[in-house]
């Protein structure tokens, strides 16, 4: 919906006491605004009314733009319970917009991911095929059942994700029949990251023609463990030392 200086208090502030409202501060002459607008609309629509989108033309409504200190556009501000709770400036990719909205109201796919069972993950992937937190665990379930081709198909819709890329590399390595990696993958499936990573890193030698694929597997595992795991920096250093 379009809002103005006159309607902002009612349509945004008061409305946000019932449902989160995201305001897109834009202008007709702004190229990045035209890029971001459809992304915002699509991601909000995915949330089935759990969050609402309002658009305010800063040229036509200078009072509100000044009140919220809008200095660059597009500027997006989220309101909940009558106050601003989050914001960002500039055009953002759909994944970033989705994460921003998830912090306000989870999408249907996000709720399905939280359930974590295979049926829910399949529904989440149908709704949002590029959602890594649904595709990666689903692909792992499929791989455990030997459905590697279906797992690869699920992961093919998640470009640019380290965990997904690492799992794809693992599947392809297993297809090549590299028995020397079997103990590492077995340890990984048991949740023994120490043994799995020690074994994998030990095989990343400059002369190993598979070193890049193994590196991708390791990077994917480290990405899933996350920066808060105190062991990750050491594993990264060790991998770098054997690569170079």
Catalytic residues: 30, 33
Greatest CA span in the chain, whole angstroms? 70
Written as six digits, the tokens of 54 are 């309002």
Closest CA to 218 of 244, 181, 190: 181
CA distance 156 to 135: 9
Output the CA torsion 79→103→90→23 (10° steps). -20
CA distance 213 to 185: 14
Closest CA to 112 of 136, 143, 134: 134
Closest CA to 54 of 13, 23, 86: 23
């Amino acid at each position: 919906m379009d809002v103005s200086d006159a309607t902002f208090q009612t349509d945004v502030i008061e409305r946000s006491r019932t449902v989160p409202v995201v305001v897109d501060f834009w202008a007709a002459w702004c190229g990045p605004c035209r890029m971001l607008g459809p992304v915002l609309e699509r991601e909000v629509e995915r949330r089935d009314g759990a969050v609402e989108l309002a658009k305010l033309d800063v040229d036509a409504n200078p009072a509100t733009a000044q009140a919220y200190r809008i200095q660059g556009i597009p500027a997006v501000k989220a309101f909940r319970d009558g106050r601003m709770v989050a914001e960002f400036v500039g055009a953002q990719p759909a994944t970033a917009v989705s994460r921003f909205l998830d912090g306000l109201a989870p999408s249907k796919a996000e709720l399905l991911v939280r359930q974590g069972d295979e049926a829910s993950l399949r529904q989440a992937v149908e709704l949002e095929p590029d959602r890594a937190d649904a595709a990666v665990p689903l692909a792992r379930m499929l791989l455990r059942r030997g459905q590697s081709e279906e797992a690869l198909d699920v992961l093919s819709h998640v470009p640019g994700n380290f965990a997904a890329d690492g799992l794809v590399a693992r599947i392809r390595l297993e297809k090549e029949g590299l028995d020397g990696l079997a103990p590492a993958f077995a340890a990984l499936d048991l949740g023994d990251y120490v043994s799995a990573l020690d074994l994998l890193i030990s095989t990343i030698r400059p002369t190993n023609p598979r070193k890049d694929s193994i590196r991708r597997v390791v990077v994917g595992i480290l990405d899933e463990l996350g920066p808060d795991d105190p062991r990750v920096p050491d594993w990264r250093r060790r991998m770098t030392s054997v690569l170079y």
